[in-house]
Copies of this chain bind each other. A is one copy, B any other.
Amino acid sequence: MARTQGSHAGITGPRIREAALKLFAERGFAAVSMRQIASAVGVQAGALYNYTPDKQALLFSLMKGHMDELLATVAATPQTGSAQQRLQDFVRLHITFHLDRPDEVFIAYMELRNLDPENFDVIEGLRSQYENHLESILQAGEAEGDFTIPDTKLATLAVIAMLTGVTTWYRPGGRLSADEVTQVYWDMVRKAVGVRG
């Protein structure tokens, strides 16, 4: 006999995270209630607290998971070859990773304000690590004479801002494919940092 309530074989946790991710991205953390998340999952609000101590922890978990995955992806990229090659790999990785996860990216950039101070510090630390990875590539290229960059710190921030901006307008099925977008952006990044040749 079918059960209309009760345990659901342990899949509720992931479904809560998915629903929260989607709703937070669409409407913003502060504008989404625990009841709305529960409703999207198909449970009552009280059931959510079997999976998260509170709403804040749910937000932090989503953001931390996203940053961890981003850094793990970067770490898994080969760091051999010329600075130009590594920069091109970074551009491709950044665009691909971010276009594949529009909701996570949106939350990671928009909901920093809604993190508790301790949680904010954790996420900011991870973000710094990511920026430092790009900056080390730019510094290496500058030192080797492959790039011409007046200020590597500013170039780092400018490149990341430029690339991340893709997520604000890109839609699958639009005028350009993700690969074509990557080509165009690589062309601009390459010129902006003065890649030789």
Partner among B110, B157, B192 whose Cβ is within 8 Å of the Cβ of A191? B192
A150 within 8 A of B: yes
A residues adjacent to B (C-beta < 8 A): 26-31, 110, 113-114, 150-151, 154-155, 157-162, 164-166, 168-169, 176, 181, 184-185, 187-189, 191-194
What chain B residues lie within 8 Å of A191 (beta carbons)?
191-194
What chain B residues lie within 8 Å of A193 (beta carbons)?
188, 191
Interface residues of A: mostly helix, strand, loop or mixed? helix
The distance from the CB of A30 to the nearest CB of chain B, in whole angstroms, is: 4
What chain B residues lie within 8 Å of A110 (beta carbons)?
110
What chain B residues lie within 8 Å of A189 (beta carbons)?
192
Is A165 a contact partner of B155 (Cβ separation < 8 A)?
no
The residue of chain B having its C-beta at the shortest distance from the C-beta of A187 within the complex is B150
The distance from the CB of A10 to the nearest CB of chain B, in whole angstroms, is: 32
- A113-B28, A192-B191, A194-B191 known; A161+B168 contact, CB < 8 A: yes
- A113-B26, A188-B192 known; A165+B169 contact, CB < 8 A: no
The distance from the CB of A21 to the nearest CB of chain B, in whole angstroms, is: 15
What chain B residues lie within 8 Å of A26 (beta carbons)?
113
Of the listed residues A160, A161, A164, A184, the one surrounded by the most CB atoms of chain B closer than 10 A to its CB is A161
Q: How far is the CA of A164 from the CA of B160 in the complex (A)?
A: 12
Is B158 a contact partner of A28 (Cβ separation < 8 A)?
no
Partner among B28, B154, B155, B165 whose Cβ is within 8 Å of the Cβ of A28? B28
Is A184 a contact partner of B151 (Cβ separation < 8 A)?
yes
